[in-house]
Amino acid sequence: MAFRLQSDPETRFNQLTADQSPVLGVCHLGFLPNARKRILVRGPVAEGEKVSLLTPDGKSQTLDFVPGAAYDLGPGSIADFSNITTPGTYRVSFRSEQSVPFAIGSDIWQQTLAVVATYQGQQRCGTVTNRSSRPTCHLDDARRRDTGARVDTVGGWHDAGDLRKWVDATLMDLFGLLSILRNLSSFPSSGALSKAALLAEVKYGNAYFLKMQDADGLVWADVAGGANGDNSDNHWTDNVAGTADDRWINIDKKPGIQAMFVLAEALTSEAFLGSDANYSSLCMNAAARCWSVSNRTGPNTVDLAWWVLAAAEMYRITAKDIYRDELIRLAGQVASLQFAAPPNAQMPLLGFFPMWPGNAQPLRDPVHSALPAYCLLRASKAIAGASSVLSGRWAAAAKLYVDGYLLPMAAKSAYSVIPYGLFLQGPTTELYRPLGGGYSYRFFMPTKDSSRLWAGLNSHLLGHALFLFEAASQFGDSRYRDLAFSQLEWVFGANPFAASLVTGLGSRQPLPFSPFVGAITGGIMNGISGDDHDRPILDSQTASDWHTNEYWSPHVGYCQWILSSLVGGVV
């Protein structure tokens, strides 16, 4: 499937048609034996047509299509083979087309995690590892934007397909690695998943975050974001401090970053408690300093959710009342924002959240859209021993989000993916799919708003997968687990382009937009986006479009979080 880049998404990508791209969609990596298993066929299916499943013993088995409704993202038909549990390699065929080979096995996600866990080592800034062919870089980072004074901020990880070091984005790298350390009960003796390698990579990346904590305890926003938030710092340097190519530190202290930093340092402290008590104490002290001087009031719903997560982990780790009391306040505030009743009779969805307190617009965030519901689940667990009433109340709010919003919205697509979000009065002259009562929705981000920062939604989908796996574990509802797998499987090939969006895993991967360092094994691209008419688009030929093909650290962090939970039996 080839797309030519032009001037905007309406002409930038040729639209998907039945004769240009595979009609079969399946997770390229495969399925756990006890998981739901689906083949998706894009386009109309004639009466009597069936899918053929080629089994490991060379036999063929026909699969019937599941009766289904009309879909807004489609059309499509589904053949289910969840009853097949025998381990091995399978393929499916339909008409004259064959799918990629895929596995049924208990270790598929463990093997996947081993690949994705190599990402951070390949994205190192400063001293590189033997997993990268790049030279040592940016030993002259960086100087303050306000005074020009030099501050040692060498190290950390490049965020994306570029050379910049956004604190909020690369903290997701840290969360991904820490989740592996927290969720796995056993580790291989060597490789990226060994405990020694994971601890070393965490310590390497975290050194940068500790350097970004100012003397007042708050944390700066980024290194190399540009002198004026532009792209001017996105370059290699001579590694000599004090020369003209030195990059800049953005000294803004954004509220969400403070919450993420507290959470990260608390979890890092816990990870090193048994092996390096001094470093563990250093990290906890950094978390406490940032907590003590932060204004934990939001200002938006996602920032509040990060503070709930930070409070929950600080309370869990320290058992101090100060963190318990703040957890109760913050989680109560997030829960109070939820639309616990339908906004009006014409739009019966409920359980979603607003953009921020007092704003009627529903929450839309391309990266952390699942966080408000997820933080309530985590808060419910953290407070369970202190208050069963609050624990039950917050768990019920998280469940309402699934039952009242996610399940009905996912049913609008044959792929069962979570749409980007709801709108009150669409802000641009594009297609907004009506829901009633003045509400509409899009599967993908609008492309014609003033920022032009539309992109693929892999973090949006993977963040929801993380939440749904946890919800399935907590509530024992297999529908939640099935829906979680749908988000994960979209990223690995069960999508309209039959393309894995992860370099080195699966088939038909687009070339990545990574002009500085090239392909990164285990890197996850932004993913499929949409055009003016909310139809899926993907640059699968030129690798010159960052909107769909650039690596972003949050995708990897969320994926590591999910996979380590699956492999470790946490969900």
Letter for the amino acid at 93? S
ω before 75 within 30° of 0 (cis)? yes
When pLDDT is averaged across residues 293-319 and rounded to a whole number, the result is: 96
How many other CB atoms are there within 10 angstroms of residue 104's CB atom? Answer: 21
Distances from the Cα of 75 to the Cαs of 46, 71, 105, 237, 432, in angstroms? 13, 6, 30, 50, 18
* Token duo for residue 337: 């924002």
Of residues 553, 538, 456, the one with CA closest to residue 160: 553
Kindly report which listed range (55-69, 120-134, 248-262, 275-289) carries the lowest average pLDDT score: 120-134
CA gap 67, 57 in Å, rounded = 29
Q: pLDDT for 312-366, tens place per residue?
A: 999 999 999 999 999 999 999 999 999 999 999 999 999 999 999 988 899 999 9
**For the domain 9-104, what is the CATH superfamily, name and number?**
Immunoglobulins (2.60.40.10)
Q: Is the pLDDT of residue 15 over 80?
A: no
This prediction has a pTM of 0.95
CA gap 487, 469 in Å, rounded = 11
Q: pLDDT for 131-161, tens place per residue?
A: 556 789 999 999 999 999 999 999 999 999 9
pLDDT band at 452 (very low <50, low <70, confident <90, very high): low
Q: Is the pLDDT of residue 20 over 90?
A: no
* Token duo for residue 558: 């969320």
Task: Yes or no: say if 247 and 226 are a contact pair by the CB < 8 Å rule.
Answer: no
CA gap 284, 267 in Å, rounded = 9
Kindly report which listed range (43-52, 155-164, 468-477) carries the lowest average pLDDT score: 43-52
Q: Is the pLDDT of residue 427 over 90?
A: no
Letter for the amino acid at 504? G
DSSP string, 45-112: --TT--EEEE-TTS-EEEEPEEP----SB--EEEEE-TT----EEEEEEETTEEPPPEEE-TTHHHHH
How many other CB atoms are there within 10 angstroms of residue 194's CB atom? Answer: 14
* Token duo for residue 255: 């509220």
pLDDT at 129: 64
Q: Which residue has the tokens 């919800």?
A: 471
CA gap 402, 479 in Å, rounded = 10
* Token duo for residue 212: 């970004």
CA gap 178, 270 in Å, rounded = 10
